[in-house]
Chains A and B, each alone.
Chain A
Amino acid sequence: MNSKMTEDEIAAQVQATLALAEQVEQVEVPLGFKDGVMKGIEATASPVLRPLWLKATLAAAAAILILAANTLTISHFVADRHVVAVASTDPLDQIRMDYSLTDTDI
């Protein structure tokens, strides 16, 4: 134990320190605080300020693009295989079919 302090002195220090918790004063907000907040808000992509119709339109457009891209890819692949299988007599076409290759690949 610290020889400079008696038990009573330590108890008094403890009480004073605990009492300090209730003496903490409320302080004013630093100057410019609100400006900082409002700038932060402007810089943030806001779910509140962005109009609902715009969000819905963007989502629908994205969904249509994804769907269209998928459909094109699938139909292109299927059509390639079909044409090769039915019309060609080229032996390389078997390779094309087996490995889904294009002329450029070969």
Chain B
Amino acid sequence: MEDGALIDAVKAGDQNAFGLLVDRYERRVFNACLGFVFNREDAQDLAQEVFLEIFRSIHAFEGRSALGTWIHRIAVTKSLELIRSRGRKKRAAQLLSLIGLQQAGWDPRADEVDHPGIRLENKDRARHLYAAIDSLPEQQRIAFTLSKIDGRSYEEVAAIMESTIPSIESLLFRAKKALQKKLTHFYQQDL
């Protein structure tokens, strides 16, 4: 079944068609989320949320972009929401710890890197890489993650980010420079 017919069937309430959509896009969604959070459990939860969001929002999909692009955009949005929420909790916990208080609800293990697509001997390096990516401005982070970790082409990244290829190239250039600087600092400190 073509994507167009699949969308029509899902919009008409066909659950089997939705099952087919999950079959078709689950790997792409799971890996997209994994690329942002570097943790298999978080990525699984996020991917579930992405499909629920697709189910809730499919009636609003107008076909102005490819279905895969639209789905990928939802995966990016959901991943960033989790990352932002964790960032807020982490900052609050750090602030409270400065004055001797603890904040409930912040789990330091949330920073744990557990990416099944990274070989065991590279886990330490992956931790440094993730910490460096985590420090990038959001747009640079999205472009870098989609292009380098998720392996999307510049055209796909531009479509997902609703931007142009030159803008993506510029974001990637700046992201790479920032990462080099950050990683150099990491290794100088021997973190």
Contact = CB atoms under 8 A, between A and B. Distances in A.
Contact of A34 (B12, B13, B26, B52): B26
Contacts, number: 116
Interface string B1-24: 000000000111101001100110
B52 A30 contact: no
Interface string A74-96: 00000000000000000000000
A29 B30 contact: yes
A101 to B, nearest CB: 50
A70 B140 CA distance: 56
Contacts of A20: 118, 122, 125-126, 129
Task: Give the size range of B's interface with the partner.
Answer: 35 or more
A27 B18 contact: no
B139 interface: no
Given A25-B117, A27-B116, A34 B129 contact: no
B40 interface: yes
Interface in B89-137: 115-118, 122, 125-126, 128-129, 132-133
Interface string A16-33: 111011111111111001
Interface of A: 1-2, 4-5, 10-11, 13-14, 16-18, 20-30, 33-34, 36-38, 40-41, 44, 46-49, 51
